[in-house]
Amino acid sequence: MPTATRLAALRQLLRSRGYDALVIPRADEHLGEYIPPHNERLLWATGFTGSAGMAVILRDGAGIFVDGRYTVQVRQQVPAGDFSYHHLLEEPPVEWLLACLQPGARVAVDPRLHNLQWLRETEAELAAADLVLCLDTDNLVDRCWHDRPAAQVQPALLLDESHTGESSVSKRNRIGAAVKALGADGALIFAPDSVSWLLNLRGRDVPCLPVLQSLALLWTDGSVDLMVEPARMPTGWQQHCGANVRLHTPAEAEALLGTQAGKRVLADPVTANAWSQQLLEQGGATLVAGTDPVLLPKACKNAVEIAGARAAHVRDAVAVVRFLAWLDGEQAEGRLYDEAQLAERLLDFRSGAEHFQGPSFDTISAAGSNAAMCHYNHRNGTPARLQPDSVYLVDSGGQYIDGTTDITRTVAIGDPGAEVRRLFTLVLKGHIALDQARFPKGTTGTHLDVLARQYLWREGHDYDHGTGHGVGAFLSVHEGPQRIAKAWAPVPLQPGMIISNEPGYYRDGAFGIRCENLVVVAEVAGDMEKPMYGLQALTLVPFDRRLLDLSLLDARELQWLDTYHAQVAGTVGPLLPAAEQAWLQQACAPLAVDS
C-alpha cells in the first residue's frame, strides 16, 4: 500500500474521531529500542526504518522528525511529497505542532507509547497555546493496519545462576530493600530488560533483544506481580524464579495497576510509559518519581557476568577475525561482494560459536559512501557492492548466553588514499586516548567524551553521535544509565559497567569510519593517592593497519596498538586454523618497527 494511501486512511479516522493531529513515535507499549514487527507503527505509516524518530500527521500535511544519524536515510525512505523533513532535536515535533495548528485543535497520542515525562511536558506546552492533548489507547494506526502481523509468543529461556551470578530471589530481596529505603511500598519495573534481569529470564520474541515482553510490580518484601502473556513463561519457571512471583495476564494488567489504592509506588517517569503510571494514580496509588531501581544494579555487572562477557568476546573475536581473513583473501583474488553477502558471511562465522543465540542488532554492512550513514541498513534498498580503493565499515554483534557483543571495524578495500588514512588515524587516536583514560570515582561519561573527539576537533571535524553506550549481559546492546556523550550523563561510570568506545567520522556521499571496542570499567591497580578507575578492553580484533598514517601516531599510541594487538594475537590466535593464524599474526605485527 503506498504511503499516500495509508495517510489517507489515517486522516479519515482522524477526522471521524474529531482530531486535528496524530503523533506516531518510533516506540511500542514497552518503549524499547527494538520493536517486534507487529508494533512497527512508524514504519507502517512512513516507510522509515531507523531506530529513533517521530511522525506527526495533520489533516492537510505531515512531518517526520529524526536525529542526526538519519538525516540522509530519511530522505531515501520517506516520500518528500507526503512528509516534510525535520531534525528531532533542532525542530522538535511539539514546536512544529504549535506552528501548524490553530487554537482549540486536538492532538491525539497513545499514552502507552510515550513516557510520563514527555506526556506531561507536551500536555503543558500544548495547553499554553490553547491546544488539547487527547489520550487514545484505541490506536489509530492499528485500526488502519489491516495486514498487521500477529505477535510472536515463545517460551522464555531460564538463565542459570552460573551465568547470572545471583539468584532471582536474592536480586528481588536486595532491590526490594532499596525501594523500602526510598520510602515506597513497591516499584513499577516497566522495562522488559529490567524484568528479565530481575527474574533471570530471557525472551525470544523480539529480534536481537532477548527480553521477556512484560512489566512487573516489585514489592519491598521481594515479591513480584508479573504481567505477561502466560505462554511466554517456560516450564519450570516457578522453581527457577523462586517463591512469591504472581502471574497476571496482559488483560488483567489494567485492573491490577488500578487497584493499588494507598500504596506508594516508585516509578520512573522517563523509562515507564504514561499509561501504566496514570492507571496507578487513577486507582489511588501515590507515584514516587525516581529512577528504575533495577537500572544501576543491572548495569554494574558482577564477577560472573564479567567473566561471561570476556568469554563471549573471545568466541566473537574468533568469528570476526575469520571473517576479516576471508574478506582479505577474497579481495586479493578480485572477488568483491555486496553488503548483504558480506553480512550473511559474517553471520555464518558467528553462528557456529558456542552459546550463540543470534545477532545483537542488524549488522551495519556499509560499502563506500553508504558508510557515511552511521546507522545504515543494507536491507532498506539494493545492497551496494564493494568498490576498489574504498573502505568497508562493518558494525555487528552477537547475543550469547554469557554475554552481548558489539564491534565496528573499518576495512581497507584496495588503497582508499591518504585523506582516508589521515581521518582514520585521527579517529583511532581518539579511541586510544579514551581507552587509556584514568579517572576518579564520580566521573561521568560526559567528562570523558572530549578525549575521543579532541584530535578530530583540532582539524575541524566531529561526529554526530555519542562516543559510548552501555551494553547488557545477554540483554540489550544499548543499555543505560551509563554512556559517553556530549550530552550530560548524570550517572557516574562505576566498576562492572560495560560500555562502548566508538568515535567515528562520516563524509556525506563519500565514506564513513568508526573504531569500536567494548570495554569494562574496572579499578586500576597500584598505590595511588586517590583510587582510580580505567577501561579494560573486551573486544579482541585487530584494527586495519593499512588505514594508518603512522606519522600521526606518537610513541605511546604505537605502544598501545602493539600491546593491544599482542593481546589479540595471544588470546585469539591459538583458537584459529593455521591459515587464519598466519593472517592474524600479520595483522597484529608490531607497528613500532614500521615507524
Contact at 8 Å (CB) between 158 and 234? yes
H or E element that contains 225: strand 224-228
Nearest of 273, 263, 272 to residue 292 by alpha carbon = 272
- 443 CB-side CA count, 13 A: 21
Site of grid cell 489533516: 59
How many whole angstroms separate alpha carbon 274 and alpha carbon 113? 8
Cis bond upstream, residue 574 (ω within 30) = no
| Exposure class string for 9-20: b at 16+ Cβ within 10 A, else e | bbbebbeeeebb
Sheet containing strand 364-367, strands side by side: 364-367, 390-396, 407-413
How many whole angstroms separate alpha carbon 470 and alpha carbon 29? 22
Given this model, what pLDDT does residue 593 score? 62
Which tens digits make up the pLDDT trace of 149-162? 999 999 999 999 99
H or E element that contains 494: none
Contact at 8 Å (CB) between 154 and 436? no
Dihedral sign for Cα 191, 192, 198, 199, please.
positive
Q: Where are the beta strands (DSSP E) in 26-127?
A: 54-58, 62-66, 84-87, 106-109
Nearest of 539, 477, 540, 547 to residue 513 by alpha carbon = 547
How many whole angstroms separate alpha carbon 70 and alpha carbon 314? 32
Radius of gyration from C-alpha coordinates of the chain: 25
Q: Where are the beta strands (DSSP E) in 515-563?
A: 517-523, 532-537
- Distances in Å between the alpha carbon of 588 and those of 114, 164, 382, 563? 48, 34, 35, 9
Given this model, what pLDDT does residue 594 score? 54
Q: What residues form DSSP beta bridges with 66?
A: 87
Residues with Cβ within 8 Å of residue 226, at least 6 apart in sequence: 195, 199, 214, 216, 245, 246, 247, 248
| Exposure class string for 450-487: b at 16+ Cβ within 10 A, else e | ebbbebbeeeeeebebbbbbbbbbbbbbbbbbbbbbee
| pTM, rounded to two decimals | 0.94
Amino acid at 486: K
Given this model, what pLDDT does residue 581 score? 97
Site of grid cell 531507523: 50
How many whole angstroms separate alpha carbon 248 and alpha carbon 252? 6
Residues of the chain with confidence (pLDDT) below 70: 593-595
Give the total residue count for the chain. Answer: 595
